Amino acid sequence: MKLKDDKKVIQIFQAALKLVAKKGLSGITMGDISREAGIATGTVYVYFKGKDELINALFAACRENSVKVSFKGYQPQMPFKLAFKHIWLNILRYKLQNFEECVFLEQCYHSPFITTETREKALQLSAPFYELMMRGQQEQLIKSTDVGLLLTFIIGTINELVKQTHYGGITLNRSKINTSFDLCWDGLKA
Protein backbone atom coordinates (compact mmCIF):
# COMPACT_ATOMS: atom_id res chain seq x y z
CA MET A 1 0.00 0.00 0.00
CA LYS A 2 1.24 3.41 -0.88
CA LEU A 3 0.74 6.23 1.63
CA LYS A 4 -0.08 9.87 1.04
CA ASP A 5 2.97 12.01 0.83
CA ASP A 6 3.11 15.09 3.03
CA LYS A 7 5.65 16.61 0.71
CA LYS A 8 3.06 16.66 -2.04
CA VAL A 9 0.79 18.90 0.01
CA ILE A 10 3.66 21.29 0.51
CA GLN A 11 4.47 21.21 -3.19
CA ILE A 12 0.87 22.00 -4.01
CA PHE A 13 0.73 24.79 -1.44
CA GLN A 14 3.92 26.37 -2.66
CA ALA A 15 2.82 26.17 -6.26
CA ALA A 16 -0.48 27.82 -5.39
CA LEU A 17 1.22 30.57 -3.37
CA LYS A 18 3.69 31.34 -6.11
CA LEU A 19 0.95 31.58 -8.70
CA VAL A 20 -1.36 33.69 -6.56
CA ALA A 21 1.41 36.18 -5.85
CA LYS A 22 2.10 36.37 -9.55
CA LYS A 23 -1.39 36.31 -11.02
CA GLY A 24 -3.80 36.83 -8.16
CA LEU A 25 -6.44 34.49 -6.88
CA SER A 26 -8.48 35.14 -10.00
CA GLY A 27 -5.71 34.03 -12.26
CA ILE A 28 -5.01 30.51 -11.05
CA THR A 29 -6.44 27.24 -12.26
CA MET A 30 -6.09 23.73 -10.95
CA GLY A 31 -4.15 22.96 -14.10
CA ASP A 32 -1.69 25.77 -13.40
CA ILE A 33 -1.21 24.59 -9.85
CA SER A 34 -0.55 20.99 -10.75
CA ARG A 35 1.83 21.98 -13.52
CA GLU A 36 3.74 24.33 -11.22
CA ALA A 37 3.87 21.61 -8.56
CA GLY A 38 5.13 19.13 -11.10
CA ILE A 39 2.35 16.60 -10.62
CA ALA A 40 -0.71 15.49 -12.55
CA THR A 41 -3.96 17.38 -12.22
CA GLY A 42 -5.69 14.32 -10.86
CA THR A 43 -3.16 14.00 -8.07
CA VAL A 44 -4.28 17.30 -6.61
CA TYR A 45 -7.68 15.70 -6.15
CA VAL A 46 -6.14 12.87 -4.15
CA TYR A 47 -5.10 15.44 -1.56
CA PHE A 48 -8.00 17.89 -1.80
CA LYS A 49 -11.66 17.39 -2.68
CA GLY A 50 -11.56 20.38 -4.98
CA LYS A 51 -10.35 23.90 -5.47
CA ASP A 52 -12.40 25.26 -2.56
CA GLU A 53 -10.96 22.81 -0.08
CA LEU A 54 -7.45 23.44 -1.33
CA ILE A 55 -7.78 27.20 -0.93
CA ASN A 56 -9.34 26.92 2.52
CA ALA A 57 -6.64 24.55 3.73
CA LEU A 58 -3.91 26.81 2.41
CA PHE A 59 -5.53 29.82 4.06
CA ALA A 60 -5.62 28.08 7.44
CA ALA A 61 -2.03 26.92 7.08
CA CYS A 62 -0.79 30.41 6.23
CA ARG A 63 -2.60 32.06 9.11
CA GLU A 64 -1.25 29.56 11.61
CA ASN A 65 2.23 29.89 10.27
CA SER A 66 2.17 33.67 10.47
CA VAL A 67 1.22 33.68 14.14
CA LYS A 68 3.69 30.98 15.06
CA VAL A 69 6.54 32.84 13.39
CA SER A 70 5.56 36.19 14.92
CA PHE A 71 6.11 35.02 18.48
CA LYS A 72 9.24 33.03 17.79
CA GLY A 73 11.87 33.78 20.41
CA TYR A 74 9.52 35.89 22.53
CA GLN A 75 10.26 35.62 26.25
CA PRO A 76 7.71 37.24 28.58
CA GLN A 77 10.50 38.34 30.89
CA MET A 78 11.99 40.62 28.24
CA PRO A 79 11.40 44.34 28.91
CA PHE A 80 8.29 45.41 27.05
CA LYS A 81 9.78 47.66 24.41
CA LEU A 82 12.40 45.08 23.57
CA ALA A 83 9.83 42.31 23.38
CA PHE A 84 7.60 44.49 21.25
CA LYS A 85 10.37 45.36 18.84
CA HIS A 86 11.35 41.71 18.69
CA ILE A 87 7.86 40.70 17.64
CA TRP A 88 7.48 43.72 15.35
CA LEU A 89 10.64 42.65 13.56
CA ASN A 90 9.48 39.04 13.47
CA ILE A 91 6.30 40.08 11.74
CA LEU A 92 8.11 42.33 9.32
CA ARG A 93 10.65 39.65 8.50
CA TYR A 94 7.97 37.04 8.11
CA LYS A 95 5.98 39.22 5.74
CA LEU A 96 9.00 40.15 3.68
CA GLN A 97 10.27 36.61 3.43
CA ASN A 98 6.85 35.07 2.90
CA PHE A 99 5.36 37.74 0.75
CA GLU A 100 3.48 35.16 -1.27
CA GLU A 101 1.66 33.99 1.84
CA CYS A 102 0.68 37.54 2.68
CA VAL A 103 -0.63 38.27 -0.77
CA PHE A 104 -2.60 35.09 -0.64
CA LEU A 105 -4.09 35.92 2.75
CA GLU A 106 -5.05 39.40 1.59
CA GLN A 107 -6.65 38.12 -1.57
CA CYS A 108 -8.59 35.50 0.33
CA TYR A 109 -10.15 38.08 2.57
CA HIS A 110 -12.56 39.07 -0.18
CA SER A 111 -13.00 35.86 -2.00
CA PRO A 112 -15.84 33.42 -2.33
CA PHE A 113 -13.51 30.57 -1.44
CA ILE A 114 -13.00 31.17 2.24
CA THR A 115 -15.84 29.83 4.37
CA THR A 116 -17.14 31.58 7.47
CA GLU A 117 -15.76 28.74 9.54
CA THR A 118 -12.25 29.15 8.17
CA ARG A 119 -12.54 32.88 8.72
CA GLU A 120 -13.56 32.55 12.35
CA LYS A 121 -10.79 30.14 13.19
CA ALA A 122 -8.33 32.64 11.73
CA LEU A 123 -9.68 35.42 13.93
CA GLN A 124 -9.08 33.50 17.14
CA LEU A 125 -5.40 33.38 16.36
CA SER A 126 -4.88 37.05 17.16
CA ALA A 127 -5.38 36.56 20.90
CA PRO A 128 -1.65 36.57 21.76
CA PHE A 129 -1.26 39.99 20.16
CA TYR A 130 -4.02 41.41 22.34
CA GLU A 131 -2.32 40.07 25.44
CA LEU A 132 0.97 41.62 24.47
CA MET A 133 -0.53 45.07 24.00
CA MET A 134 -2.41 44.87 27.30
CA ARG A 135 0.86 44.15 29.02
CA GLY A 136 2.33 47.32 27.53
CA GLN A 137 -0.62 49.30 28.80
CA GLN A 138 -0.34 47.85 32.29
CA GLU A 139 3.26 48.95 32.37
CA GLN A 140 2.05 52.38 31.20
CA LEU A 141 4.44 52.37 28.31
CA ILE A 142 1.90 52.68 25.53
CA LYS A 143 -1.28 54.67 25.11
CA SER A 144 -4.24 53.29 26.97
CA THR A 145 -6.64 53.26 24.05
CA ASP A 146 -8.66 50.47 22.51
CA VAL A 147 -6.26 47.59 21.94
CA GLY A 148 -7.94 46.74 18.66
CA LEU A 149 -7.10 50.23 17.44
CA LEU A 150 -3.48 49.86 18.48
CA LEU A 151 -3.11 46.50 16.77
CA THR A 152 -4.72 47.84 13.64
CA PHE A 153 -2.25 50.69 13.66
CA ILE A 154 0.72 48.37 14.08
CA ILE A 155 -0.29 45.82 11.51
CA GLY A 156 -1.27 48.52 9.05
CA THR A 157 2.15 50.12 9.10
CA ILE A 158 3.90 46.81 8.62
CA ASN A 159 1.60 45.64 5.83
CA GLU A 160 2.02 48.73 3.76
CA LEU A 161 5.75 48.76 4.32
CA VAL A 162 6.00 45.22 3.03
CA LYS A 163 3.78 45.96 0.07
CA GLN A 164 5.77 49.02 -0.97
CA THR A 165 9.03 47.16 -0.52
CA HIS A 166 7.93 44.40 -2.82
CA TYR A 167 6.66 46.74 -5.47
CA GLY A 168 9.81 48.77 -5.60
CA GLY A 169 8.34 51.88 -4.01
CA ILE A 170 10.81 51.49 -1.16
CA THR A 171 14.24 49.90 -0.91
CA LEU A 172 14.45 48.68 2.64
CA ASN A 173 17.64 48.62 4.68
CA ARG A 174 18.55 48.42 8.37
CA SER A 175 18.19 52.16 8.83
CA LYS A 176 14.80 52.36 7.15
CA ILE A 177 13.56 49.44 9.18
CA ASN A 178 14.53 51.24 12.37
CA THR A 179 12.97 54.47 11.16
CA SER A 180 9.74 52.63 10.44
CA PHE A 181 9.78 51.03 13.84
CA ASP A 182 10.29 54.43 15.43
CA LEU A 183 7.35 55.86 13.50
CA CYS A 184 5.25 53.07 14.91
CA TRP A 185 6.63 53.24 18.43
CA ASP A 186 6.41 57.03 18.69
CA GLY A 187 2.77 56.73 17.71
CA LEU A 188 2.09 54.10 20.33
CA LYS A 189 4.06 55.34 23.30
CA ALA A 190 2.22 56.90 26.22
Partner DNA sequence: TTTGAAAATGAATATTTATTCACTTATATT
Partner DNA sequence: AATATAAGTGAATAAATATTCATTTTCAAA
The contact set with DNA (CB under 7 A) reads 1-5, 8, 28-32, 39-43, 45-47, 49-52
Of 63, 70, 96, nearest to 85 by C-alpha is: 70
**Shortest separation between residue 97's beta carbon and a copy of itself, angstroms:** 17
Decide if residue 159 touches a copy of itself (CB under 8 A). yes
Q: Cα separation of 84 and 79, whole Å?
A: 9
**What is the b/e burial string over 12-32, where b = at least 16 CB atoms within 10 angstroms of the residue's CB?**
bbebbbbbbbeeebeebebeb
Decide if residue 68 touches a copy of itself (CB under 8 A). no
* 3-state class (DSSP) for residue 136: helix
Instruction: Pick the closer one to DNA by CB: 8 or 81.
Output: 8
In terms of phi and psi (left: phi > 0; alpha: psi -120 to 50; beta: otherwise), the region of 73 is left
Decide if residue 74 touches a copy of itself (CB under 8 A). no
128 touches, from a copy of itself, DNA, none (C-beta below 5 to 8 Å by class) = none
Instruction: Pick the closer one to DNA by CB: 46 or 183.
Output: 46
Decide if residue 65 touches a copy of itself (CB under 8 A). no
Q: Which residues contact 75 (CB under 8 A, 6 or more apart)?
A: 83
Decide if residue 27 touches a copy of itself (CB under 8 A). yes
Residue type, 56: N
Contact footprint for a copy of itself (CB under 8 A):
20-27, 103, 106-107, 109-113, 143, 145-146, 148-150, 152-153, 155-161, 163-164, 167, 169-170, 176, 179-180, 182-189
